[in-house]
Structure 1
Amino acid sequence: PIAADKDVGIKLVTYTNPSYGTDKIVLAPGITSAEQLKGETVAVLEGGLTQIFMAEWLTDNGVGIDEVTFTNLIMDDAVGAMVGGTAAAAEFWEPFGSQVLEAMPGATVAADSTEEKYITTAMLGDALYMSTAFMAERPEDAAKLTRAYFNAVDFWKANTAEANQIIADGLQFTVADVEQVLGSTGEILKGGIFVFDRDQAAIFMGLKAGELPLGIVADGMQNHWDVTTDWWLKFGFIDKAMPMAAGVDTTPLAAALK
């Protein structure tokens, strides 16, 4: 919705992997409730789904988004802010959440993305984006890129150890860090993520009928768009609600299914 409202020339092509526990809200030692965060600073990636996760958890527990100070930090900086005492709470994905918990005895997890509210809506996760110019000028290449991504997913599912090593080398992570998010079996990892194959992505994006594991709603992208739009209006990140077509284009995904 932000990209659509600001007309930055990119669109979401497909959702790729709902978070199934890799995202966590971590409270600093001594903080045991959302109520104690009133007047405090919480670290999130502003304009990202992690901010919505934090906002929903706060409001569900009686704290308004105007009663805390949101600070925009990337993961490495957010770890430092928590450990250094700058932030009283923060949203992390793995492997950073575990690093904070290990470095801060007494820190606790207040919520994570395995909870029904977040996993059934696929509220937290990642997606494939493309520039509108690329899709308009090179539609065949856009389809090839989407197809190549899902071919890579198929390879990972069939050759998980080899693929995880490739990913670790590329990111300069340890294989253990990669497995903490992706797992070692090519299957859904509780505490990590659920990597959609192309058919599962098509079901979530409303291109084909079917059911998804974990109770994730089929054709769920519209609801996801509506929820994120509502929050970005509340935060003042967008000026008006835009139709989903302004920010989502499944044409490359549809072509990749053929």
Structure 2
Amino acid sequence: MSFTGFRHAVAGAVMALAPTASLAAEDVKISGFTWPGYGFWHIAIEKGLAPDLNIDYQAIEDPYESFNLVAAGQMDVVSSTVEFTPVGIESGLPIKLVAFGNLSYGTDKIVAAPGISSAEDLVGKEVAVLEGGLSQIFVAMWLEQNGVQFDSVTYRNIIADDAFAAMIGGSVAASEFWEPYGANTLKALEGSSVLAQSREPYWLQQGVIADGLYMSDAFVTDRRETAKKTLQALYDAIAWWQENPTEGNQIIADGMKMSVADVELVLGKDGSRTDGGLYVYDFMEAAQFCGAAPGNPPFDQSNGQMADHWNLVSEWWVKFDLIEQINPPETGIECDLHRELYEAGYRG
């Protein structure tokens, strides 16, 4: 079964941390994309927030490779987009989704070519998406939300620069873009427009377009205390960034060899998590989304919505013939790490 969903270029430069306080620091192997949403790992490195962990980060842009390394016992943690879990579990990969990391807060857009202004205008036309990815679900849900069957369009598996070129050249009628490709298309293609964007309340409440954190089954079960320390390092880095956004964005930009302006486009400038294109979950919000702490996560989401999200994504992958059936959420989700941190008094 082919699966390209996690080729969404949303993922993160994670850690290359050397031990600073202990000669017996424990090795943790992490991989992920180059994406500001995962740049908080660089803050954990720079600020020594995990002194007893020796985190070896590999920047791997193809998540197939990352998850294959998990299956081979050579990777502990993978940063990727959240839609992969049901496919990975049905394929027999030994992974668990342990955290909802961040939520698209405007960085994703469905951009229409000139002359396209509604879902009905797309019937029978070609739409550029990442097939098997969040962008395909986004477009399919939007079509049905607007009274058009999800399969009334032809999905073309082209993304990023290629989708930009296809829009400019007129070979597709619309495309799902993440930044900066959406903004660049709108600037370059006169008459293009936004049909939907992920900051709209419906998409925020559904939590469809998001990044997550995966851990191998062996890491979760055999090295549980280390797994919890790894999570805590992430949330400590997010909390530090909220108090020091200017320095934090510079650390992320340096770590991923990006401009500060590109980092700010995604994460914002003031640490509020609402002035950029992503909303980053802090510990309590992620724990609430998992159902591991009391209270509700933001944007009218509900406590324990992680299971609902699993079912929603699984339903779409059945429709798109990527999986055969909807498996129980507990087969692919691990929320007890957050619960144990919460019960131990950690609040981020």
TM score, norm. by length of structure 2: 0.70
- CA positional deviation for 1:134: 2.7
Please name the residue that 1:89 is paired with: 174
- How far apart are 1:256 and its partner, in Å? 4.1
Question: Which amino acid in structure 2 is aligned with residue 173 of structure 1?
Answer: M
Name the counterpart of 1:195. Answer: 280
Q: Which residue of 2 aligns with 1:20?
A: 105
Q: Residues 109 and 194 of structure 2 are in contact (CA less than 8 Å); yes or no, is this contact kept in structure 1? A: yes
Q: 1:241 aligns with which of 326, 332, 344?
A: 326
Aligned with 2:184 (options 74, 78, 99): 99
Query: How many percent of aligned residue pairs carry the same amino acid?
Result: 46
- Distance, in Å, in 2 between the alignment partners of 1:90 and 1:162 is 35
For residue 132 of structure 1, what is the amino acid of its counterpart?
D
The answer for the alignment partner of 1:145 in structure 2 is 230
Q: Assess, with a 3 A threshold, how the Cα gap between structure 1 residues 130 and 80 changes in structure 2: closer, same or farther.
A: farther
Give the unaligned 5+ runs of structure 1.
none
Unpaired segments of 5 or more residues in structure 2?
Answer: 1-85
The reply on whether 1:8 has 2:86 as its aligned counterpart is no
Superposed, which structure 2 residues align to 1:128-207 within 5 Å?
128-189=213-274, 192-207=277-292
Cα distance in 2 for residues equivalent to 1:212 and 1:235: 29
**106-115 vs 28-37, greater mean Cα deviation:** 28-37
Aligned CA RMSD, in angstroms, stands at: 1.8
1:254 aligns to 2:339 (yes or no): yes
1:237 is displaced (CA, Å) by 0.8
Bigger helix fraction: 1
Q: Shift of residue 42 of structure 1?
A: 1.1
Taking the aligned partners of 1:133 and 1:211, their CA distance within structure 2 comes to: 30
Q: How many residues align?
A: 258
Please show how residues 70-85 of structure 1 align to structure 2 within 5 Å.
70-85=155-170
What displacement does 1:149 show? 1.2
**Contact 2:267–2:276 at 8 Å: present in 1 too?**
no
Cα distance in 1 between the residues matched to 2:341 and 2:257? 30
- Cα shift at 1:212: 3.0
| TM-score (ref. length: structure 1) | 0.92
**Structure 1: how far apart are the matches of 2:304 and 2:87?**
21
* Structure 1 stretch displaced more, 150-159 or 207-216: 207-216
Any conservation in 2 of the 1:18–1:124 contact (CA below 8 Å)? yes
CA distance in 1 between partners of 2:305 and 2:135 (Å): 18
Q: 84-93 or 203-212: which moved more?
A: 84-93
What pairs with 1:58-77 in structure 2 (closer than 5 Å)?
Answer: 58-77=143-162
Greater RCO, 1 or 2 (C-alpha within 8 Å, sep 6+): 1
CA distance in 1, matches of 2:208, 2:221: 29
1:17 touches 1:196 (CA, 8 Å); kept in 2? yes
Partner Cα distance (2:164, 2:282) in 1:
32
